[in-house]
Chains A and B, each alone.
Chain A
Amino acid sequence: MDMVYAQRCINCHGSGGRGDGALAAALPVRPPDFRDTVQRKSNSQIRRVIAEGSSIMPAFGPVLQPSEINDMLQMVRFLSREGRDLAWWEKFDTLVVAHCSVPWETVLGYDEPSSDSKP
């Protein structure tokens, strides 16, 4: 349950579910603070948001098992009540770092395409 949250959620929602993840400040919409929103939502509403996404939040339904979506739900409920320090997540460090970090290959020396394949 912890790993799924560390992999898929913490970057935006933050270590304690406060909407203050590493990417939150760069997002056009600030993620919600779970303490303010989760208690008002039913489990099925939360599951639907996780599975189908909302606005710029990804839809995780296509990539996660129902049991993993339940794990996310449990973590969201837990964080809305108790929060969690950033230090607690250090053990997931290798999973929490940015996933989109492969350097651009400058493709210098690329062969000119033949006249057939030119756009």
Chain B
Amino acid sequence: MGHRQTRALAVFLALTFATLPRGAVAHEPQPLPTERREARIPINNFTATDQTGRRFEFKSLRGRVVVVAFAYTSCPDVCPLITAAARQVQTGLSSAEHPRVQLLTVTTDPEIDSPRILAAYAARYKADLDNWLFLTGSEAELGKVWKNFGVGVKHKARGLVDHTPLTAIVDKNGYMRVAYVGASPEPKRVLGDVRRLLSER
């Protein structure tokens, strides 16, 4: 979304909701525009560090469908929506699907997002860490991952990072097959894609 459109959206939404009755808190979330694109991009093996401080290797997930979201913990923009959507995807998995699907949140701000900070972030979202890891690493390590997934990352200020709002789905053979670009990947749609990829051989 361009600068002008975002500003127009901000003004429109602010004026719209300014007319709501005071104290009106219950609402159905209104999704923001999110593009879904199919792809077939091989994802290289990579290493990182998870929220417990353990080392992680992407190739250890071979045979599982992987939902990969890019976000950072101090993001005052769309990352909360992306992580909330990933949580909804996780809760939508059946008990049979749960061990066959892995969720990853890869930080776009490794300067701030230490394992300890990622662990606190995961707890705020009530993430089930059985099949969801929050990954950080060195700039060099993660730079390769961002590039492989097509995620641009621009550091603006301490704790402010402009990045591609990507949620990707990687198939059992390590190919990125679906890319959701935007703030609100629709959890039911993501689950549909995950199930389709689970059914592949």
Contacts and interface: CB of A to CB of B under 8 A. Distances in A.
Interface of A: 7-9, 11-12, 14-16, 18-28, 30, 32-33, 35-36, 52-60, 62-64, 86, 93, 96-107, 110, 112-113, 117-119
A-B complex: 6 closest residue pairs judged by Cβ atoms: A63-B159, A119-B174, A20-B17, A102-B152, A22-B10, A105-B150
A102 B154 contact: yes
Q: What's the dominant secondary structure at chain B's contact region?
A: mixed
A34 B124 CA distance: 21
Contact of A63 (B30, B31, B74): B74
Given A20-B20, A27-B80, A59 B31 contact: no
Contacts of A107: 41, 147-150
Interface residues of B, number: 79
B6 A101 contact: yes
Contacts of A104: 35, 37, 150-152, 164, 166, 179, 181
Contact of B162 (A14, A100, A106): A100
20 contacts: A18-B22, A20-B20, A23-B80, A23-B183, A25-B17, A25-B30, A28-B29, A30-B25, A58-B79, A59-B120, A63-B160, A98-B78, A100-B164, A102-B153, A102-B164, A104-B35, A110-B41, A118-B174, A119-B61, A119-B173
